[in-house]
Amino acid sequence: MSKKGIAVLGSTGSIGASTLDVLARHPDRFDVVGLSAHSRVDAMAEQCERFRPQWAVMTDDVAALALRDRLARSAPEVNVLFGHGALDEVAADARVDAVMAAIVGAAGLRSAIAAARAGKTILLANKEALVMAGEVFLAACREGGATILPIDSEHNAVFQCLPPFWRAQAAQPMAVERIVLTASGGPFREWSLDRMALATPEQACAHPNWSMGRKISVDSATMMNKGLELIEAHYLFGVTPANLDVVVHPESVIHSMVQYVDGSTLAQLGNPDMRTPISHALGYPDRLTSGVASLSLPAIGRLHFEAPDLLRFPCLGLALRALETGGAGPCVLNAANEVAVEAFLGGVIGFMQIAEINGRVLEHLGAEPAGTTLEAVEDLDRRAREMARLLVKAME
Ligand code: NAD
Ligand code: MG
């Protein structure tokens, strides 16, 4: 069996590290062809020394020089590249069969599109790329002959509950009545609005079940993450907003469900560890060991469910509105949210002001038509960021 060539974009992040953990368990199956990181030289150097990829991309050029210096002694066979253009090259490299798209935020869009145009299998963790550029991304996949396999645990769960060999496409799978995404409710599930208004970045990043990067941790605390995931599900599975639902399930054991017209509900269950969806997508259609222990239901005892509270989590309602009105909504909401979350993490704005900024940008720019080219999408993204930055400034 020839080995599958893998590029892990965003390899120093939480998803990147979990991906390398799974890959290291199967050296006979996978060849790590490329790695990328933004600026963490030490973490990247260690990964390069261990996995010996053909390419190591640092998007920050000063960091690239430092990495080149260090690897000249310890791993001279690794070619160090820098800048976002290099990401696109590695994503499209002939030796790469599958690209793990695990850069956080809009910064990962161009390389994901490059992988799509080159017909790769895209293991999609970077939901923001799909939310901001849904139609453009899917069109690039169709034209390039690329396949998306979802890494987001909910979408991976849905994928596992759909008929075998179903592929991401723009039509609702036959006989599917509804897709139900589960949400943990995040660290503030039981907090009052007054208490949330004073929440600190540390409190927002202390997720009860999942260990993740800081941006998605804040998104889980505002429940914007679930909103982005509704939009992601719409694009991945071709479902209309009316056929999508969210249920809060604090234990994060059921990762999501598919309801069929005959009254059947299929669910995927597991311990909350991203190595499960990662190994599912890496091995697909085979199953691989992932290092995750299987579930013990007696040890868990009880599972709980409740409806989401849109009053305390307005970001979820904003995402629903963006999904229902379509057009530029998802793109500008995502851009505003990236700016607002960064400002919150930097201590510049309060937790509830994230939703305020997101709401105002969506109101002003959400009615515009969706971008139909990558450039038009990036222009919308830039304008939404500019407006969000002005709003942040006014709140300082
Ligand atoms: P993270 O912050 O831990 O890692 C992000 C990675 O992206 C790092 O390798 C970093 O070097 C790189 N990066 C950051 N900014 C960059 C830039 N401007 N240019 C190029 N590279 C850049 O994030 P994460 O938690 O691993 O999440 C990655 C993606 O996966 C996000 O889109 C997130 O929504 C999605 N996701 C994560 C989880 C999870 O459990 N962590 C679950 C589902 C989906
Ligand atoms: Mg998720």
- Residue for token digits 């991401």? 168
What count of other Cβ atoms lies within 10 Å of the Cβ of residue 281?
24
Around ion ligand 2, which residues have CB less than 5 A away?
A: 152-154
C-alpha–C-alpha distance, residues 391 and 396, integer Å: 9
Give 313 Cα–ligand 2 centroid separation in angstroms.
17
Name the residue at shortest CA distance from atom 31 of ligand 1.
Answer: 104
Name the residue at shortest CA distance from atom 41 of ligand 1.
Answer: 212
Provide the whole-model pTM.
0.97
Give 215 Cα–ligand 1 centroid separation in angstroms.
8
Question: Do residues 344 and 354 touch, judged by C-beta distance below 8 A?
Answer: yes
Q: Say yes or no: CB of residue 273 within 6 Å of ligand 1.
A: no
Q: Say yes or no: CB of residue 3 within 6 Å of ligand 1.
A: no
Type of residue at 80:
V
Q: 349 vs 224, 319, 332, 371, 374, CA distance in Å?
A: 17, 21, 19, 30, 31
> Which ligand 1 atom lies nearest to the CA of residue 87?
20
Give 36 Cα–ligand 1 centroid separation in angstroms.
11
Give 75 Cα–ligand 2 centroid separation in angstroms.
35
Write the DSSP symbol of residue 53: -
Q: Say yes or no: CB of residue 37 within 6 Å of ligand 1.
A: yes
Phi, psi of 322 (to 5 degrees): -60, -40
Give 354 Cα–ligand 1 centroid separation in angstroms.
20
Rounding to the nearest 10 degrees, give the CA dihedral for residues 284, 285, 287, 292.
40
- Residue for token digits 């990181």? 37
Q: 88 vs 9, 49, 112, 116, 202, CA distance in Å?
A: 10, 23, 8, 10, 34
Question: pLDDT truncated to tens, each residue of the chain (396 aa)?
Answer: 799 999 999 999 999 999 999 999 999 999 999 999 999 999 999 999 999 999 999 999 999 999 999 999 999 999 999 999 999 999 999 999 999 999 999 999 999 999 999 999 999 999 999 999 999 999 999 999 999 999 999 999 999 999 765 555 545 567 899 999 999 999 999 999 999 999 999 999 998 888 899 999 999 999 999 999 999 999 999 899 999 999 999 999 999 999 999 999 999 999 999 999 999 999 999 999 999 999 999 999 999 999 999 999 999 999 999 999 999 999 999 999 999 999 999 999 999 999 999 999 999 999 999 999 999 999 999 999 999 999 999 998
